Amino acid sequence: MQQRFLKLGTSLVCLALLLSACKSSQPDTTPTTDPAALKTAAAQTASAFMTATALVRPSQTLTATPTATATISQATPTATVTPAPPSLATPTATAVLLQGERAQFVTDVTVPDGTDYKAGEVFTKTWRFRNAGTSTWTAGYALVFISGDKMGGPDRVGLLADVPPGGTVDISVNLAAPNSAGKYRGYWKLLSTSGKYIDDAVYVEIDVIGGSTPTVTSTSQVTSQATSTPTATPTSTTAVLSISNVSMGVDTPAFTGACPKTFSFTGKFTLNLPATVSYQLEAGSDNPAFTFTLPAAQTANFGTGEQVITFVLDISSSVNGWTRLHITAPVDLTSNQASFSLTCQP
């Protein structure tokens, strides 16, 4: 911009000089201009131009404005991760252990594993359990046989009293060693009033020694005669009677309601031969003053195989009791105790 003003000023000076020259060439003009005066006029003209320029463009300090320089750098391309839209999380399946009904095996109170018994010997197996849950075990709970060797045991043995959380209870089952030698094991499990098994099973394991087997009696007779040869008498075989699997069960282990209540008890035993058997029902309770009205002892003829005997009792007052089958002849055997509970209400 400043160079343009300078050029304009120079042009004005040259124009002034030309005008002056033209005036001097005309005959009737003023006398020839003095060179000194011409210099003075030129200086005045230049001064006037500079003054005009100053008026047009006021004096100011030119400040260099920093020039913004755009620097383009070639950055290494980077991967931009766009957040995925939120999604509904799939529920995670969590195994929840329900603590309502839990049974913890504590110890074998009787009959350690591998105990030796003679064939047909009666014994009582007792387990101790702890109620490790949060619900109370009532008289409706029972220990039931589930698999293996039953050893003449019952189908179930009910609890005689409530077991609160943290409490322990001993449950006993009357059993009989089988008639043949060998190792035997039976499995039992707690059953709740809702019909659900509680935790793992327990078992009883015994060794039967000196098991009974059919015996063979041989008799031979030799007659010495001068003209005859020894004659062998035919061999005879005699089978030994055995009674096994003696057990007792009850149709209703626990009942609460109007009295009297009729309970049905089922006794069972197995014969390997037909036999005449004498037997009777025995009973007891947690109240020594309680009196049972029991049927009389009986004797009857039975065939081979499993035999079933039914007893019916009408009970009129609350009691926690048990019954069992007692065979008195031809051998003396006693079954397990079938426990039951009665709570009379109006």
196 and 296 belong to one structural domain: no
Q: What confidence score (pLDDT) does residue 139 get?
A: 80
User: For residue 335, is it within any domain?
Assistant: yes
3-class secondary structure, 71: coil
Q: 196 and 261 share a domain?
A: no
Residues 174 and 247 in one domain: no
Instruction: Please report the pLDDT score of residue 289 as a whole number.
Output: 85
* Residue 1 burial (10 A CB sphere; 0-12, 13-18, 19+): exposed
Task: Output the pLDDT for position 208.
Answer: 94
pLDDT, residue 32, reads: 52
Residue 20 inside a domain? The answer is: no
Tell whether 287 and 196 lie within a shared domain: no
Flag whether 150 is in a domain. yes
User: Is position 322 within any domain?
Assistant: yes
Tokens of 166: 């943290």
d(CA 131, CA 129): 7
Per-residue pLDDT of the chain (346 residues; tens, 9 = 90+): 555 555 555 666 556 666 555 544 444 444 455 555 555 555 555 454 444 444 444 444 444 444 444 444 444 444 444 444 444 444 443 333 445 789 999 999 999 999 999 999 999 999 999 999 999 999 889 999 999 999 999 999 988 889 999 999 999 999 999 999 999 999 999 999 888 899 888 999 999 997 544 333 333 333 333 344 444 444 444 568 889 999 999 999 999 999 999 999 999 999 988 889 999 999 999 888 888 989 999 999 898 889 999 999 999 999 999 999 999 998 889 999 999 999 999 8
The residue range of the domain holding 267 is 241-346
Whole-angstrom CA distances from 126 to 40, 175, 203 are 146, 11, 10
Q: Is residue 285 part of a domain?
A: yes
For residues 208 and 128, membership in a common domain is answered with yes
CATH code, domain with 151? 2.60.40.10
CA angle 192, 185, 241 (to 5 degrees): 110
Contact 323, 311 (CB under 8 A): yes
Number of domains comprising the chain: 2
For residues 313 and 326, give the distance between their C-alpha atoms in angstroms, rounded to a whole number. Answer: 16
- pTM, whole model, 2 decimals? 0.38
Long-range contacts from 324-327, C-beta under 8 angstroms, 24+ separation:
324/174, 324/248, 324/281, 324/282, 324/283, 325/246, 325/247, 325/248, 325/267, 325/268, 325/269, 325/279, 325/281, 325/282, 326/279, 326/280, 326/281, 326/282, 327/243, 327/246, 327/269, 327/277, 327/278, 327/279
Round to whole Å and give the CA distance between 336 and 152: 8
- Same domain, yes or no, for 271 and 195? no
Q: Is residue 254, in this structure, part of any structural domain at all? A: yes
Does one domain contain both 172 and 261? no
Residues 6+ away with beta carbon under 8 Å from 161 = 139, 169, 320
DSSP secondary structure letters along 230-245: --PPPPEEEPPP-EEE
Q: Would 202 be classed as within a structural domain?
A: yes
